[in-house]
Amino acid sequence: MKDTVLYFVLPCYNEEEVLPETAKRLFAKYNKLLRANKISDESRILFVNDGSSDRTWEIIKKLHEWNPAFSGLSLSRNRGHQNALLAGLMTARKYCDISVSMDADLQDDIEAVDEMIAKYEGGCEIVYGVRNSRKTDTKFKRGTAGLYYRLLEKMGVNIVDNHADYRLMSRRTLNALAEFKEVNLFLRGIVPMIGFKTDVVYYERGARFAGKSKYPLKKMLAFAFEGITSLSIVPIRIITNLGVGVFLVSIVLLIWGIVQKIRGATVAGWSSLIVSIWAVGGMILLSIGVVGEYIGKIYLETKGRPRFIVDEFLNDGKKKTDGL
């Protein structure tokens, strides 16, 4: 396996606080794998700068100048985590045999890479890093995450529970991923669609080493909604079924109203009428919003705009294997 070229791919957005430590730990793992003849000396640690406004790109360039084992890819502007990750993977596939994608905040256990490579050597094309617990999360986050995974499952989405974007992928699967052309990216749901032999590696997810999370509640909710609407049409079908249900109820109420009229019964009905108007009006607005979300995605897909634009790529020079 000493001829296997491995590319670590790490999206970075304003990670100046954690990047030096991340580089140090990854470089130690890189050298360990190199000495064990698990990877080729053509392997790289590829940091993807997602339009950072701090010193992230400056640090990446200095790392590359010090040792070209560190590669750098800078996007023309901030495109979001999923687009930055895809940019790194699509760049890496031109050079690597396998890639390992992970976040730059050191929450993913770097030591799990050894087991991922072992499973790749055993014939796996994709190896998912899966959290074995959520002890570091708040009760709210644990509960909502579990609910979200169950909701996706009910909607027919094939997704790996408690897996984020920490995974090993072979060049074959990276080339297959390149065939997926959608602009609205949710890689956690797209990668399982590729198929081939897969496996999982369990690891303990730690706390963020430094800096602030790039996923506050608002972004997490938007990302969750993106996953549902990008991978499932069940919300549209729910609206259809809801519409049929409301229509049937209206027929029953119409019949009831006619019967009451024939009987000469006096029905005030003001409260029930107002409640019905507000309830049905709310459902209509909600339904229009969901349908509009899908139409908006269709609009973006038909434009065929690039998912990322590369500003600069650093990937040359002679490497050293001494420490940072």
Within 8 A by CB and 6+ apart from 107, the residues are 136, 205, 206, 207, 208, 209
pLDDT above 90 covers a percentage of the chain that reads 39
Q: How far apart are CA 14 and CA 49, in angstroms?
A: 8
The domain in which residue 23 lies consists of: 6-216+310-314
Q: In this structure, are 126 and 264 located in the same domain?
A: no
Please state the domain count of the chain. Answer: 2
| Residue 319 falls inside a structural domain | no
Q: Is 100 left (phi over 0), alpha (psi -120 to 50) or beta?
A: beta
Position 193 scores a pLDDT of 87
Q: Report which of 204, 173, 155, 192 is spatially closest to residue 96, judged by C-alpha positions.
A: 173
Q: In this structure, are 175 and 41 located in the same domain?
A: yes
More reliable by pLDDT, 57 or 270: 57
Instruction: Among 121-130, 152-161, 167-176, 267-276, name the one with the lowest average pLDDT.
Output: 267-276
Q: In this structure, are 129 and 211 located in the same domain?
A: yes
Strands of the 163-170 sheet, one edge to the other? 198-203, 126-131, 163-170, 98-101, 6-12, 44-49, 70-75, 310-314
pLDDT in tens, 17-56: 999 999 999 999 999 999 999 999 899 999 999 999 999 9
| Residue 224 falls inside a structural domain | no
| Residue 245 falls inside a structural domain | yes
List 7's β-bridge partners, or say none: 44, 99
| Residue 97 falls inside a structural domain | yes
pLDDT in tens, 92-110: 999 999 999 999 888 888 9
Q: In this structure, are 118 and 257 located in the same domain?
A: no
pLDDT in tens, 232-291: 667 777 777 777 777 667 667 667 666 766 776 655 665 566 567 766 776 776 777 777
| Residue 223 falls inside a structural domain | no
Q: In this structure, are 176 and 275 located in the same domain?
A: no
| Residue 276 falls inside a structural domain | yes
Q: In this structure, are 171 and 267 located in the same domain?
A: no
Q: In this structure, are 288 and 159 located in the same domain?
A: no
pLDDT in tens, 134-143: 565 566 666 6
